[in-house]
Each structure stands twice: as structure tokens, then as C-alpha cells.
């Protein structure tokens, strides 16, 4: 919503908004751009604005005071974010839509970055705050592609279709498919069904770029109505990732296009998952420019790519302690990051700090998966379950049980009823630094009640 507000402002519109608990880095970006954000919801304040249209985010539900006032009075027209993006921007553009359970934000940033570095002026809308490109939204040139992060989550309380159904793909990227968003999907097959619907709107002169190593994508079928390009590590993929290696400085890998060498990449990002993100982005960018093979697009700039804030972002780096913030909130994402950091920081103690905050993480649906993922750490601190009072005891994420499971596997673990208590214990246990170097990784898709910044400040001091 924040980057979409910036995009609307860049299009010449006056933009204001309301939210609860706005936190950095997006709050700072909006303030710098002059987008006023009210804290909390007040129909009287909305009425005073006299907007031409109200864009309702998918976090809004019935019972929200502004939603109820809009429905009662019919004072102003309203729409969803995906719908207004389609109507105002996407229906006129050749779009690269980046989808998948994991890696959407980084892959979107990578595709936009590579297009810019290859002399084009793409539009883009990224669901985070990237370091490269230097902004999360840009209109770009009408003749160049528009890159957008395509979420499978629903569009609004009044439109339960996945957001990406609105996004008019020309090149559709599917990074991976796993069960997530337990509040709106029943099971993996339900998630796959949403991606099948998305695949059916790829035009015949467009292209689908698929993770060829992910068995869950087989549910999409052959897609005879469009061209299909596959990316992965296995033989048989059109774009193939080879010779992956990882050190404390980052990682390296090679890319082949149908068996022919394309590029050798050495960059600061870690993990095979990020190498795959880069391969997907590069392939999509090349195809969107009409390049066959897509290997005609240069990848030299990847050596300078700095990533996205809150995606394995290093906040503190000293000989004794490294503090990292990560947006991870799904078991697979946590496991891949921890495995990568085990290779990147050999000999260090890995301390995972996890907030069960997302609508899937705060319930028990994937609890065993979180326990398996967190077992890749040496020690684990489990924060308070977000909005715990709204959940029944039997459905709420059981931090005590997860900690017990981890202890049984030899992973030192603690659980806390408040994030403030977690912070105090973490500071007491890990600062001042002694013994082996330590890597503290915070996993959350929210603010973690501000404890990440407080701990980082303490670690620096």
C-alpha cells in the first residue's frame, strides 16, 4: 500500500491515507514523499478529505469504522488496490508479474534493477523498500515493461480473488508454490488453484517463467496457450544454475541458457534461494524485452546489487556479533536462510529470534514445520504470538511445545509471553559478547514491537 501510494503521487494524484502501527522503513519513506498518513481510523477525517476514490487495503475488514461509514453513506466510490493498479497503470503496459510463496520482493527488485542497468526505464511496484533500485515504485517509460510483485493473497474484503488476477501479465514468473495464508486457503491444492487461474490469463504472445525444480508447479499443467520457460538447477531447465558456492562475503554461481554459458555471478547476497531469484529475474527481464535467448541481457550489474531492506539485512557487523533482520515468516524461508547462514558464518553460534505474527505463523497449521526449520539454529528465542487473544487455545501457535521440541533436538530454546521480555533476556544472554562469534537473526513480517532496533543499538554500543 505504501509504494502504491507513492506511485499514485508520482502519477499526479493527491494522496493521503490511514493505518495503524505504521513503522519504518516505509513510514519514513512516505513522510519524505509528503504522503500524510493518519494513525487510526476516523470517518469524520475521511469525510473532510473529500476524496475522488478510496482505495481499501486487504487488511481492512467489516467493522472498521471507515469501511462501515463508506458502506452506510455511499459518500465516495471505493475500490481495491489491485483493481486501481490495473485500471490506472497495468492495462496499458507490458507487465512482468512476479509471483510465488517466497522471493517475490527480491525477484521484483532484481528484474527492475537489471532492466535499468541494461538501459531501459521500466515501471515497477515492489512490496518493500529496496536498496536497488533506489525506490520501491516508479512509473517508468510507457514503452518499457512494468514489473510488479504479484501476491496470491486476496484483493479486499469484497473481492476474494488473488491480487495477481488483476495484474494483466505479459511475462508471468512463478518462483515456487507452497501452502501459506491459512486464513484464506484450505490446503496446498487450494493455493495451486489460485495459480492455475493466474496462468490462464497469460496471453499467447507472452510467457510463463517457472521454477523447474518445484514439483508443486506441476499442478499448473502444460499451458499450451503460451510459451513456457523453466529455470532451476536440474538438467532440462532452459535457464540452469550451476556451480553454486557461498562464503562470508556472499555467494557465486553460473548461469547456462540451454546448455550455453550465459554469465558468472559473484555478489553479496547469500543462499541458493537468492541465486534462483536472480536467475528468474534475469530470464523474465530478457524475455520481456523480446530477447531470445534472454541471455542477451547483461548481468554484470548483479555484483553491485544490495538487496531489499528487511531481507537478510545486516544491521550490525562486528568481530563478535552480527545482527540480521529478515522478513521470513514461513518455515521454508526460515530453513533456507538458516542453512545459508550456517555456510556463510562457519564457526558462529546461530541465534534465531522468531515472532509468530503472520496469519499462518500465529496458528498451529505449520507449527511442526517451524520446529523443523528453527532446528537449523543453535539457539532459538520465540516471541509472543501476535494478537493471541483473538485465537482459541487449541488453534494458537504453541511456543512452549515448539521450544520443548527444539530442546529435545539439542537446540537451546526459550519462549516469552511478551516481546519486551524476550528483548531483555536476549540482551542479558548475548551482550556483552563472549566466546564464539554469534549471528542473531530476527524473523518477522512486522515490527517485532520495536525490539530489533533496540537490540541492534545495544549490540553496537
**Do 30 and 158 share a structural domain?**
no
Peptide bond just before 374 cis, omega within 30 deg: no
Residues 151 and 276 in one domain: yes
More confident residue, 343 or 405: 405
SS3 62: coil
pLDDT confidence of residue 10: 87
Which domain-ending residue is among 18, 45, 76? Answer: 76
Query: What mean pLDDT do residues 310-329 have?
Result: 91
Interval 96-149: pLDDT, tens = 999 999 999 999 999 999 999 999 999 999 987 888 999 889 999 999 999 999
Q: Residue 144 maps to which CATH number?
A: 3.40.1190.10
Residue 160 grid coordinates: 476474494
Task: Single out the residue in 304, 327, 362 at which a domain terminates.
Answer: 304
Domain that residue 91 falls in:
83-304
Q: What is the mean pLDDT of residues 256-263?
A: 94
DSSP state of 118: T
Q: How far is Cα 206 from Cα 204, in angstroms, rounded to an integer?
A: 5
- Over residues 386-394, the mean pLDDT reads 92
- Angle CA(353)–CA(355)–CA(357) in degrees, nearest 5? 160
Task: Label the pairing between strands 250-257 and 239-247.
Answer: antiparallel
Non-local CB neighbours of 211 within 8 Å, separated by 6+ positions = 100, 174, 175, 176, 217, 230, 231, 232, 276, 280
Query: Which candidate, 174, 247, 252, 249, places its Cα nearest to that of 216?
Result: 174
Query: What H or E segment, with its residue span, contains residue 382?
Result: strand 379-382
Q: Are residues 72 and 121 in the same domain?
A: no
pTM: 0.86
How many domains is the chain built from?
3
CATH number at residue 14: 3.40.50.720
Is 226 in the same domain as 93?
yes
Neighbours of 44 (CB within 10 A): 9
β-bridge mates for residue 54, sequence order: 78
What is the C-alpha to C-alpha distance for residues 380 and 400, in angstroms, rounded to an integer?
12
Based on the fold, state whether residues 295 and 432 are members of the same structural domain: no
Tens-place pLDDT, residues 218-229 = 999 999 999 999
Task: Examine the domain organization and report whether 103 and 191 are in the same domain.
Answer: yes
- Phi, psi angle pair for 72, to nearest 5°: -70, -45
Query: 123 with 217, same domain?
Result: yes
pLDDT score, position 297 = 87
Query: Cell numbers at residue 94, please?
Result: 507490458
C-alpha cell at 334: 526460515
DSSP track, 214-259: -GGGGGG---TTSEEEEEESSTT-SEEEEEEEEETTEEEEEEEETT
> 382 has which bridge partners?
354, 415
In terms of domains, do 287 and 331 share one? Answer: no
Cβ distance 95 to 106 under 8 Å?
no
Residue 292 has pLDDT above 70, yes or no: no
Hey, how many other C-beta atoms are within 10 angstroms of the C-beta on 424? Answer: 14
CA 333/CA 178 separation, integer angstroms:
11
Same domain, 41 and 100: no
Mean pLDDT over all residues of the chain? 93
Q: 426 pLDDT exceeds 70?
A: yes
Mean pLDDT, residues 338-351? 92
Residues across the chain? 461
Of 255, 274, 304, the domain-final residue: 304
Contacts of 151 (CB under 8 A, 6+ apart): 99, 104, 127, 162, 163, 164
pLDDT score of 295? 67
Q: Give per-residue pLDDT as tens, 30-85.
A: 888 889 999 999 999 999 999 999 999 999 999 999 999 999 999 999 999 999 99
Does residue 168 share a domain with residue 50? no
Q: Are residues 71 and 119 in the same domain?
A: no
DSSP 357: -
Q: What percent of the chain has pLDDT over 70?
A: 99
Which cell goes with 95? 507487465
Based on the fold, state whether residues 297 and 334 are members of the same structural domain. no
Question: Which residues, other chains included, contact 457 with Cβ-Cβ below 8 Å and sequence gap of 6+?
Answer: none
Q: Domain containing 350 — which CATH number?
A: 3.90.190.20
User: Are the CB atoms for 194 and 154 separated by under 8 Å?
Assistant: no
Amino acid at each position: 500500500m505504501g509504494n502504491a501510494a507513492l506511485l499514485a503521487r508520482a502519477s499526479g494524484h493527491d494522496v493521503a491515507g490511514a493505518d495503524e502501527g505504521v513503522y519504518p522503513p516505509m513510514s519514513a519513506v512516505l513522510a519524505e514523499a509528503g504522503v500524510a498518513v493518519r494513525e487510526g481510523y476516523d470517518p469524520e477525517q475521511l469525510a473532510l478529505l473529500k476524496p475522488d476514490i478510496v482505495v481499501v487495503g486487504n487488511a481492512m475488514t467489516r467493522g472498521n469504522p471507515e469501511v462501515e461509514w463508506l458502506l452506510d453513506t455511499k459518500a465516495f466510490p471505493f475500490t481495491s488496490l489491485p483493481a486501481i493498479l490495473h485500471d490506472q497503470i497495468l492495462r496499458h503496459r507490458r507487465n512482468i508479474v512476479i509471483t510465488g510463496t517466497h522471493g517475490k520482493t527480491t525477484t521484483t527488485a532484481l528484474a527492475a534493477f537489471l532492466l535499468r542497468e541494461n538501459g531501459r526505464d521500466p515501471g515497477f511496484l515492489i512490496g518493500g523498500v529496496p536498496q536497488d533500485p533506489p525506490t520501491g515504485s516508479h512509473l517508468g517509460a510507457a514503452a518499457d515493461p512494468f514489473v510488479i510483485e504479484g501476491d496470491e493473497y486476496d484483493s479486499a474484503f469484497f473481492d476474494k480473488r488473488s491480487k495477481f488476477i488483476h495484474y494483466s501479465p505479459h511475462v508471468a514468473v512463478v518462483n515456487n508454490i507452497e501452502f501459506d495464508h491459512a486464513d484464506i486457503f484450505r490446503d496446498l491444492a487450494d493455493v495451486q488453484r489460485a495459480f492455475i487461474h493466474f496462468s490462464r490469463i497469460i496471453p499467447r504472445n507472452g510467457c510463463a517463467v517457472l521454477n523447474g525444480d518445484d514439483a508443486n508447479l506441476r499442478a499448473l499443467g502444460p499451458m499450451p496457450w503460451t510459451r513456457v520457460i523453466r529455470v532451476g538447477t536440474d538438467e532440462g531447465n532452459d535457464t540452469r544454475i550451476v556451480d553454486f558456492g557461498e562464503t562470508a562475503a556472499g555467494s557465486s554461481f553460473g548461469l547456462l541458457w540451454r546448455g550455453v554459458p550465459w554469465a558468472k555471478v559473484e555478489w553479496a547476497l547469500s543462499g541458493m534461494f537468492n541465486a534462483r531469484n536472480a536467475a528468474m529475474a534475469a530470464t523474465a527481464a530478457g524475455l520481456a524485452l523480446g530477447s531470445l535467448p534472454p541471455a542477451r541481457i547483461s548481468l554484470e550489474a548483479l555484483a553491485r546489487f544490495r538487496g531489499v531492506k528487511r531481507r537478510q539485512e545486516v544491521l550490525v557487523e562486528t568481530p563478535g556479533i552480527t545482527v540480521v533482520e529478515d522478513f521470513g515468516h514461513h518455515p521454508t524461508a526460515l530453513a533456507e536462510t538458516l542453512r545459508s547462514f550456517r555456510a556463510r558464518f562457519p564457526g558462529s553460534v546461530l541465534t534465531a529470534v522468531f515472532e509468530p505474527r503472520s496469519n499462518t505463523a500465529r496458528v498451529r497449521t505449520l507449527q511442526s514445520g517451524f520446529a523443523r526449520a528453527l532446528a537449523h539454529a543453535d539457539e532459538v528465542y520465540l516471541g509472543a504470538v501476535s494478537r493471541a487473544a483473538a485465537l482459541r487455545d487449541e488453534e494458537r501457535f504453541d511456543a512452549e511445545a515448539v521450544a520443548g521440541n527444539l530442546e529435545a533436538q539439542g537446540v537451546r530454546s526459550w519462549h516469552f509471553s511478551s516481546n519486551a521480555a524476550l528483548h531483555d533476556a536476549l540482551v542479558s544472554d548475548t551482550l556483552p559478547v563472549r566466546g564464539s562469534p554469534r549471528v542473531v537473526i530476527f524473523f518477522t513480517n512486522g515490527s517485532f514491537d520495536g525490539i530489533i532496533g533496540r537490540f541492534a543499538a545495544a549490540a553496537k554500543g
